[in-house]
Structure 1
Amino acid sequence: MTRAAAHSERKKAMFFPLSKLIFFVLTPSNFLILLGLLGCLLLFTEFGRGVGRILACVGFLGLLAAGLSPLSAWVLGPLENRFPAFADDERPVAGIVVLGGAVEADTSIGRNQITVNDAGEREIALADLARRFPQARLVFSGGAGSLREDAVSEAEIVSRYADTLGVPRNRLILEQQSRNTHENAVFSARMVQPKPGERWLLVTSAWHMPRAVGCFRRAGFDVTAYPVDYRTNWPRDATRFASFASDGLGELDIGVKEWIGLIAYKLAGYTEAVIPSP
């Protein structure tokens, strides 16, 4: 292995755990809790009480504002609206790539049934598109996405419960090694070797579509966006307050993490633009 190749491999190996740490700290709900906790600790010191009161108030009021205000819609809206919903123009579809991120692998194993999270529309789209395009190749790209070495991949779970989803198991092409969106694109392109002029649909959450398309383009895999799992109803949600702070914080966490991911991927060279265009 050349020195350049070895350096590239080291960078990739560091990127995944580092991204997990950065996301944990900068996720708004975690950040505001940590800020408030630091403020509370400073209240017990002689010289930090003034700063502590400020940090504690900022942390508490920040959680309140972030959870109940329409801020999450303003953060997610531009991402979800970047690529329009797919309109079938009757052009032949050579293949469909569905990205992981919706299957809860550990819970599925423990409960002996497929378990999905809030992004479960990805699996619904997989079943629907498999029926609508019976000749298309079906790729499910999803590894474990965990730092644990013994973690079960999402692709393995989808394969086990293909009958439950109504997807013919013999049509599934499983990509099980990817841990992030960059690897989704690189490993999928390597597996299927798409031909020039072929139409491939890319299925992922609407808020995740800009980063996903950017990665696939960078990997030389031309795809057509098929966004699902919308979290906002824009522009109505632009002035709508949340009923539960947990809902608003959850959506804001997703949006902020995605914007951080877009910037990080551009800096890492995984995409050519911070916000890829349609």
Structure 2
Amino acid sequence: MFFPASKVIYFLITPSNLFIFTVLAGLLLSATTRLRRTGTGLATLGALGLALGGLAPLSEALLLPLEQRFAPFPADAPAPAGIIVLGGAVEAGLSEARDQVVVNDAGERPIYLAELARRFPGARLVFSGGSGFIGGGVAEADVISRQADVIGVPRTRLILENRSRNTYENAAFTAALVQPKPGERWLLVTSAWHMPRAIGCFRQAGFTVDAFPVDYRTRGWSDLTRVNGFASDGLLQLDLAVKEWVGLAAYRWSGYTPDWLPGPEPAPAPGSASR
């Protein structure tokens, strides 16, 4: 029930949808009832939400705490035992229909799968991504399997997890599939704004991973002083940010993550035994 319920609830509370529904409800009240003042207030509230959400740096204020939570992966870090890349970047239906890789705004995920495969030739490569649609569909992992040569990933090295529908299942199914050994270092590649929830899910699954954040949507804290040139851009980012914060709360309440906002694990105290 969690998966279909999350889709329906998110559709209803997505800020851009909610603002539009508020405007329409206000106009309907004003035109068809005696509650004209209430209707006008609702319509004004919805229009103000669209304007502020689209033009003001509201989305940046919500995204920055997520994207700044984990530092970029050090360039001089030792080679990991394996690399896990989460789905969410491949438009599986379009890719299937057009017989080529079609990516969305998170396209850095498969790009860095290829880069890390080249950089760490001995690491195991895992791509975790099924279908995110209710009722099923083409799995992202299956598209990646067929188009591995196009994105520059050796197909013979790929370990594919094609059943997961959300981040919780990414972690649970991947942990069961690869069964990491104690002491192994694995990298987790996903969008910077999605990294806290993803790290939390993997920790809850008993799988210790290091963050390799990609797909940044902000440049840094200076973005709080900027305004958006296009309202559509701001609303797109706001929808994304609200979805992620709601997802963090829902996952914590459901027991899918150990913390409200998972972050880096504290460094061990001097002289303490390493895990």
TM-score (norm 1): 0.93
2: distance between equivalents of 1:46 and 1:132?
66
Displacement, 1:49? 1.4
The one-letter amino acid of 2:153's match is: V
Gaps (5+ residues) in structure 2?
Answer: 265-275
Deviations 1:67-93 (A, max 9, x none): 000111101000000010000344231
SS at match of 1:96: strand
Q: Does the alignment pair 1:166 with 2:113? A: no
Question: Which one of the candidate residues 60, 68, 83 is aligned to 1:73?
Answer: 60
2: distance between equivalents of 1:49 and 1:195?
66
Regions of 4+ moved over 4 Å: none
Deviates more, 1:22-31 or 1:214-223: 22-31
The one-letter amino acid of 2:102's match is: T
Q: Does the alignment pair 1:64 with 2:63? A: no
2: distance between equivalents of 1:217 and 1:91?
21
Displacement, 1:210? 0.1
2: distance between equivalents of 1:15 and 1:170?
35
Root-mean-square deviation (Å): 0.8
State the partner residue of 1:98.
85
Question: Which one of the candidate residues 123, 146, 169 is aligned to 1:183?
Answer: 169
The one-letter amino acid of 1:153's match is: A
Q: How many residues align?
A: 264
Identity %, equivalent residues: 62
2: distance between equivalents of 1:176 and 1:34?
36
2: distance between equivalents of 1:174 and 1:92?
21
Deviations 1:127-166 (A, max 9, x none): 00000001100000000011133x1000000011000011
The one-letter amino acid of 1:236's match is: S
Displacement, 1:50? 1.3
Question: Which one of the candidate residues 153, 156, 161 is aligned to 2:142?
Answer: 156
2: distance between equivalents of 1:154 and 1:273?
28
Gaps (5+ residues) in structure 1?
Answer: 1-13
Deviates more, 1:201-210 or 1:23-32: 23-32
State the partner residue of 1:140.
127
The one-letter amino acid of 1:69's match is: A
2: distance between equivalents of 1:60 and 1:92?
51
